[in-house]
Amino acid sequence: MTDLSRIYDISIDKIEISEHNVRDTQPAKDVDELAASIEKHGLLQPVVLLGARTDPPPYKLIIGSRRFLAHRDLLAQKDERWRMVRAIFAGPIDRVQACVRSLAENMQRVDLNHADAAKAITELYVHYGHDDSRVAEETGMSLRRVRQYIYIEELASGRMKEKLRRGEVTPADVKRVLEAAQGNIRKAEGLLDLMTQYKLTGHEKKRVVEYGTTHPDADADDIVTEARRPRVEQVIAVSLSKAMQAALELAVEALSMGPEEVAAQALTEWLSDQGFLG
């Protein structure tokens, strides 16, 4: 039986990164910063290896690839203190368990590349019978975040995913164009291309979604042209009691939003809850 609480010192040359580790793209991101922290504090959290200590090396690393790479960098500076890596053994766990553990661990730290996370989350989603709540529960991620990954993975085209993988666009941009194009994948691709070409600001991107959803017949060029044009926004002054003013100020501070944005959101939610807003 594997003792998960027992920490071993394993020579770095006996460890290799497992194919079950979900961090596949840019594993070396921000490793310098981590190496500096390990040099200062030591490796406080052991890496996790598959199988048992008694198995023959090389040991497969499922959690802690960045810590492992930071150790390797420190060792490359001819400092023999870093030859041994603190590690625990997870025992003979299957592919899904390894995926869950690796994903849960990595999502808490430096953000995974979108493609790596989406691949792992979709695999778990399929494994758990399309139960997104179960994926959220197992990985410790919010349901909203899990749904965003699944939404993009299911609806985005290969070309859009490739742009995501290369870091040319953000998941939020892909979600925006999918919403604006309302199921028309060619239009969504066109919108994404134009968004990148014109380097739209956040205000303009918001208008892409607004105009796209309210004008389903508009093509990608029209939507972006309209989105690049500031629109007149009318603000209605409302009298508030002192208590409401104080509450609004609290919300503004806590949410880092403007008072009008908070009020608009509250009103939108209320109108929607009451069935006045479709």
Partner 1 sequence: MISKAKRLVDDSQRAVPDNAIAALIANTKRARRKLSILQVAEWIEVAQDHLGSIEAVSQRIGISAEMLREFMSVGKLCPSVKKLVANREVDSLDVVYRLSMLRPSEQVAVAREVVAGAVTSNDVRFVASLRKRAPELDIQEVLDRVKKSRNVKQYITQFVIPSGTKLADLRERFAQLLGDENIVGLEAGCGTGTLVLSAEGMGRLREAARSKGRTKRVLVDYVVKGTR
Where on the chain is the footprint of partner 1 (CB under 8 A)? 37, 41, 44-45, 108-109, 170, 196, 199-204, 207, 228, 230-237, 239, 250-251, 253-254, 256-258, 261
**For partner 1, the closer CB: 127 or 175:** 175
What are the C-alpha distances in Å from 173 to residues 18, 180, 203, 208, 209?
32, 10, 12, 10, 10
Smaller CB separation from partner 1, 76 or 255? 255
Task: Report the alpha-carbon distance of residue 100 to residue 179 in Å, rounded.
Answer: 29
Shortest spacing between CB 30 and partner 1, in angstroms: 11
Cβ at position 128, least distance to partner 1 in Å: 24
On whether the CB atoms of residues 20 and 34 are closer than 8 A, the answer is no
Closer by beta carbon to partner 1, 129 or else 230: 230
Q: Which is nearer to partner 1, 1 or 237 (CB)?
A: 237
Q: Which long-range contacts (CB under 8 A, 24 or more apart) does 130-138 make?
A: 138/100, 138/104
By beta-carbon proximity to partner 1, the closer residue of 182 and 245 is 245
- Is 230:244 a contact under the CB 8 Å cutoff? no
The smaller minimum CB distance to partner 1, of residues 201 and 268, is found at 201
Residue found by looking up tokens 């420190």 in the block:
74
Residue 155 gets the label, from left (phi > 0), alpha (psi -120 to 50) or beta, of: alpha
Min dist. Cβ of residue 105 to partner 1 (A): 10
CA 5 to each of CA 21, 57, 86, 199: distance values in angstroms, whole numbers, following the listed order:
21, 20, 12, 50
Q: Is 220 exposed, middle or buried (0-12, 13-18, 19+ CB in 10 A)?
A: buried
How many CB atoms sit inside 10 A of residue 154's CB? 11
Minimum CB–partner distance for residue 133 and partner 1 (Å): 20
How far apart are CB 235 and partner 1 at their closest, in Å?
5
Q: Smallest distance, Å, CB 209 to partner 1?
A: 14
What 3-state class would DSSP assign to 192?
A: helix
- Closest CB to partner 1 among 26 and 184? 26
Q: Where are the beta strands (DSSP E) in 41-139?
A: 47-49, 59-63, 84-89
Q: How far is the CB of 265 from partner 1 (least distance, A)?
A: 13
